[in-house]
Structure 1
Amino acid sequence: MSDVNRDICYVWIKDGDDWSATFVIDGRQYADPDAVSALSLEAFDELQRRRIPAEFETTEVSPTQPASRLPSWEEYRQRLALDDSGRPAAAGTDRITYYAKVSESCTKEDPHGVVRRIHSIPPVDQAFARDMRWRPTEFLLRHWLGTDDYDPVEITAAEAAVIIGRWKARRRADAEAAAPALIDEAKARRS
């Protein structure tokens, strides 16, 4: 638990004509403050894929504020995997497995890349790309065919969110560091 304010994201789902707060992504539960953004993106992608109308409301939360009684994204996602009778959904319908791309020089904590398999029919493989979006990939197929230099190591959705959050933070920092130089360059061109 952190001693500074963190982001918390409440997700509202439309049921008929009504909207209700359905689950929460609480940044106080993760070591990386950017985990809320990464998990919100994951939740958004999954709800959009399922055509579930949702609204995301992110705000700051202090460390002393009581925890929400709403389920977490992880708990809600598990409920999505159940059919109407409460039994596990048929295999291959909506489960997502995450992998870190590792080698001798990359660990699962600091991998070369992150890949996910959506266990739909047919399965969909995606890699988190440099443009900070999920893009189609053939990495898992190439690995299983023995034609890729990296190995997939299964990781949890939370671990993937932390890695992606760290990458997004680096990208923001790089953009902020480059901004003054770009401004100076533009001023020089105008002169």
Structure 2
Amino acid sequence: MPDPYEPLLRMYERGGGFYLQEYLDLNGVMIPLRNVESNASTTPFVTLSPATLDALDGEGESMYFAKISNGYPRHSPRGIVRRRVDDDQTHDEAFTRNLRWEPTEYLKLYDLGHNDIDHVQITEIEAATFIETLTEKLAGTS
């Protein structure tokens, strides 16, 4: 059985913290307080891979998007991009084959009508799954 405290220890090792009010606030990620049944039905965040957690870390608030098209559905997208807002500045970044976030103009160009590749907003868990899958694929461990 996995160590139940490992995720909490990882969070503290990475400089995280929390506040408990109407929500459990994990320094920006808000989790509503609910009953046991609704918490048990929530999709868990299962990765503790340092590479994936490093890729998800970023200053400010992030929204993630999956680039989809024929043959590339939401669960297996062409790629992912994120929009990060930090100190009232917006940063659009794509997760690349270099296994890091790099600046992209994709979202701005899409808004201007260059929309031959569509996208949908995804959760942080879905972004983590993509990052972990790509990392394993490029490392040859999948």
Structure 1-normalised TM-score? 0.50
Q: 1:163 aligns to what?
A: 130
Identity %: 28
Q: Which runs of 5+ in 1 are unaligned?
A: 15-20, 50-93, 177-191
One-letter amino acid of the structure 2 residue matched with residue 112 of structure 1: R
Corresponding residue number in structure 1 for 2:84 = 118
Gaps of 5+ in 2: 19-25, 27-43
When the two chains are superposed, the root-mean-square deviation of aligned CA atoms in Å is 3.0
**How many Å apart are 1:152 and its aligned residue?**
1.6
Task: Say whether residues 1:12 and 2:26 are aligned partners.
Answer: no
Q: Which has the larger radius of gyration?
A: 1
Displacement over 4 Å in runs of 4+: 33-36
Number of residue pairs aligned between Structure 1 and Structure 2: 114
Q: Residues 13, 151 of structure 1: CA spacing in aligned structure 2 closer, same or farther, 3 A cutoff?
A: closer
Judging changes above 3 Å, is the alpha-carbon distance between structure 1 residues 34 and 170 closer, same or farther for their aligned structure 2 residues? farther
Task: Find the counterpart in structure 1 of residue 74 from structure 2.
Answer: 108
CA distance in 2, matches of 1:161, 1:11: 19
Larger % of helix: which? 1
CA distance in 1, matches of 2:71, 2:139: 25
Seen in structure 2, the aligned counterparts of structure 1 residues 137 and 4 have a Cα distance that, compared at 3 Å, is same
Superposition deviation, residue 130 in structure 1:
1.0
Aligned residue number for residue 41 of structure 1:
55
Q: Give, as a single letter, the amino acid of the residue that structure 1 aligns with 2:89.
A: P
TM-score by length of 2: 0.65
